């Protein structure tokens, strides 16, 4: 019994240390988002005019993966899939557009949803979640969560690293932790509203809007510094 307890006491700090390293200190994914997309101003777009997916432009697999630069983008970027016109895959609901919290859940939340083929990109709060076939990285999202969790190590800020899949299952877009883990987020349409269910039990109802609100141009990670 004592040996087992000693093994636990020794092993637990090692496991916690490895988890801390993996989440905060492991090498960041290479930034493959098009620099022109990050430099552009996504607040100038009318998001009620959704792109026509008629196959006349690029496919999802032809476009570099969008991922979060550093801990957060500095201003709301242009759409990642602006040049993609591939028709949505079978079984995929059309969630495209700009959405703002109307009831419950995360107060003031605004997010942009892009889709083409079987690829989905969600941009919100400094973070770019991009899942699906692309020309540069794997299928899973590969992000940092600067607004969610960060630590200061020897004067340098390190943000939590996350990875997930976004898979359509039973009419819902399910986020599976690390691609194979439990569902931590769900998105789906309920009438004219987009529903966002989070693992903490919150349920945010969102309405479609056409223009990015002024206070969402710069994410909190930078506006609070």
> What's phi and psi for 18, nearest 5 deg?
-65, -40
Q: Is the predicted pLDDT of residue 30 greater than 80, yes or no? A: yes
- Percentage of the chain with pLDDT > 90? 60
- How far is residue 84 from each of residues 60, 79, 111, 186, measured CA to CA in Å? 6, 10, 19, 24
Looking at per-residue pLDDT, the higher value among 223 and 88 belongs to: 88
81 touches 116 (CB < 8 A): yes
Locate tokens 């777009």: which residue?
A: 45
Q: How far, in whole angstroms, is CA 64 from its chain's centroid?
A: 15
Q: Give strand pairing partners of 175.
A: 166, 185
pLDDT band with cut points at 50, 70 and 90 for residue 224: low
Question: What are the residue boundaries of the structural domains of the chain, listed by start?
Answer: 31-223
pLDDT score recorded for residue 209: 98
What number is the average pLDDT over the span 125-154? 81
Looking at per-residue pLDDT, the higher value among 56 and 147 belongs to: 56
Q: How many CB atoms lie within 10 A of CB 104?
A: 13
pLDDT in tens, 184-214: 999 999 999 999 998 888 899 999 999 999 9
pTM beyond 0.85, yes or no: yes
pLDDT score recorded for residue 74: 93
Strand order across the beta sheet in which 141-153 lies:
127-131, 119-124, 110-116, 97-103, 203-209, 193-198, 183-190, 172-177, 156-169, 141-153
Q: How far, in whole angstroms, is CA 73 from its chain's centroid?
A: 12
pLDDT score recorded for residue 20: 66
Strand, coil or helix: 114: strand
Q: Give strand pairing partners of 52.
A: none
pLDDT score recorded for residue 26: 75
How many helices (H) and strands (E) are present in the chain, helices listed first? 3, 10
pLDDT score recorded for residue 8: 59
pLDDT in tens, 99-109: 999 998 788 99
Q: Is the predicted pLDDT of residue 4 greater than 90, yes or no? A: no
């Amino acid at each position: 019994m004592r040996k087992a307890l000693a093994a636990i006491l020794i092993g637990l700090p090692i496991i916690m240390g490895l988890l801390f390293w993996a989440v905060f200190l492991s090498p960041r994914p290479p930034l493959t988002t098009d620099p022109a997309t990050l430099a552009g101003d996504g607040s100038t777009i009318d998001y009620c005019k959704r792109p026509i997916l008629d196959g006349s432009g690029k496919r999802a697999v032809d476009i570099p993966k969008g991922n979060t630069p550093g801990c957060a983008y500095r201003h709301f970027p242009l759409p990642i899939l602006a040049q993609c016109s591939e028709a949505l895959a079978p079984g995929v609901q059309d969630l495209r557009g700009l959405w703002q919290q109307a009831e419950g859940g995360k107060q003031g939340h605004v997010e942009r949803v892009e889709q083409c083929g079987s690829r989905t990109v969600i941009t919100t709060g400094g973070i770019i979640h991009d899942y699906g076939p692309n020309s540069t990285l794997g299928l899973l999202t590969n992000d940092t969560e600067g607004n969610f969790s960060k630590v200061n190590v020897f004067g340098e800020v390190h943000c939590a690293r996350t990875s997930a899949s976004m898979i359509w299952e039973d009419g819902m877009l399910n986020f599976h932790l690390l691609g194979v883990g439990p569902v931590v987020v769900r998105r789906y349409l309920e009438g004219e509203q987009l529903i966002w269910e989070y693992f903490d039990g919150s349920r945010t109802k969102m309405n479609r809007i056409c223009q990015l609100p002024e206070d969402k141009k710069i994410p909190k990670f930078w506006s609070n510094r």
